[in-house]
Amino acid sequence: MTETTVGIGGAAESTDMVLNIGPQHPSTHGVLRLRLVLDGERIQSAEPVIGYMHRGAEKLFEARDYRQIIMLANRHDWLSAFSNELGVVLAVERMLGMEVPERAVWTRTLLAELNRVLNHLMFLGSYPLELGGITPIFYAFREREDLQHVMEEISGGRMHYMFNRVGGLKDDLPAGWLGRARQAVAEVRSRMGVYDDLVLGNEIFRGRTRGVGVLARETVHAYGVSGPIARASGVDFDLRRDEPYLAYAELRDVLEVAIRDEGDCLARFECLLEQTHASLALADACLDRLDELPPGPINQRLPKVLKAPEGHTYAWTENPLGLNGYYLVSKGEKTPYRLKLRSASYNNIQALTELLPGTLVADMVAILGSLFFVVGDIDK
């Protein structure tokens, strides 16, 4: 490869350029600024500058009761709202020592996997768009609409579902909903091959992503990177398999974890795509089990004022973008004394300080987009 620098002044040999990328418009995945130091077309250092969207959710948790904090929890990663709610209620239920009805456990598992597919489809469509391929985003939104219909029918919301409750779920399944959900999953699966043909089969896409932005396994461990990004670098860890919660222990034979060793942008995209296929298979298995379950309660009856006993606990979940952790401290009141959120995007985005130095500015967008983050998940 030959690099040519044209049209620079005489002082340029000893002068670095500082370039600000962003803050971007909020209609993207959020408002992020990158402060780059350039030597010609090559990045010398990179600093992610965050905080433009900070809403103080963790502090607001302390002023809301255990029913109200669900509304705050599902908004930091707006592509994973159901999964965000789930982590909070699991932490509260663990603090209470509460057992959730079996019907609620399997329904939660089903909806968490459908939410995972919705999240991944957004990135499977938007990442090629960031590299100049406009067509995949139209396919991605078509598949998302099929799943959004069934999610909206059961919860009433398109993005912020507000369907989890401490002790279970808000309502039981509507009549005939399982059949409609099964049909939606089947339709989405039947059309997933378009990403293999249209995206992975595209020579330009592979040329822009293969060998670009290689994330070493040591860096993954050093920065606490998780999710599909970590597994694309050979870190074989998935909380659903390795420390199962909900109904995942009974789904071991169905759950497949996508692993790659290359650690580049292409491997991260391939892991995301393979994980989408795996989540659709898990959704089918949950639908089969729900068909077999006898009628029963979907939640626990709660007291009028819900108070968690004094103490502390930690719950974590395998969210679509990686590991989410919830550290809950209670003083025996109806509001949390402290609820600390460990979000996946916050750790994942830090890897940019290691990934970007030494790369070309032209590859910066490819690397940035392959980290699959939501800025609200950083600025929680």
Q: Does the predicted TM-score (pTM) go above 0.95?
A: no
Domain count, the chain: 1
The whole-angstrom separation of Cα 117 and Cα 272 is 10
Please report which confidence band the pLDDT of residue 75 belongs to, taking 50, 70 and 90 as the band edges: confident
Q: Is residue 43 part of a domain?
A: no
Q: Is residue 18 part of a domain?
A: no
CA angle 212, 217, 218 (to 5 degrees): 120
Q: Is residue 160 part of a domain?
A: yes
Q: Between the CA of residue 257 and those of 250, 273, 278, 319, what are the distances in Å?
A: 15, 11, 8, 14
* For residue 13, pLDDT beyond 90: no
The whole-angstrom separation of Cα 366 and Cα 206 is 11
Q: Is residue 115 part of a domain?
A: yes
Q: Which CATH number does the domain housing residue 165 bear?
A: 1.10.645.10
Q: What is the pLDDT of residues 87-137, one digit of tens each?
A: 999 999 999 999 999 999 999 999 999 999 999 999 999 999 989 889 999
Q: What is the pLDDT of residues 317-356, one digit of tens each?
A: 999 999 999 999 999 999 999 999 999 999 999 999 999 9
Provide the pLDDT for residue 100: 95
Mean of the per-residue pLDDT values of the chain: 91
Provide the pLDDT for residue 22: 76
Q: What is the pLDDT of residues 277-291, one digit of tens each?
A: 999 999 999 999 999
Q: Is residue 35 part of a domain?
A: no
Please report which confidence band the pLDDT of residue 76 belongs to, taking 50, 70 and 90 as the band edges: confident
Q: Is residue 322 part of a domain?
A: yes
Kindly state the average pLDDT of the residues 229-245.
Answer: 95
Q: Is residue 39 part of a domain?
A: no
Kindly state the average pLDDT of the residues 262-271.
Answer: 96
Please report which confidence band the pLDDT of residue 19 belongs to, taking 50, 70 and 90 as the band edges: confident
The contacts of residue 195 (CB under 8 Å, 6+ apart) are 124, 136, 139, 273
CA-nearest of 142, 378, 121 to 269 is 121
Q: Is residue 33 part of a domain?
A: no
* For residue 12, pLDDT beyond 60: no
Q: What is the pLDDT of residues 245-265, one digit of tens each?
A: 999 999 999 999 999 999 999
User: What's the domain range around 303?
Assistant: 49-378
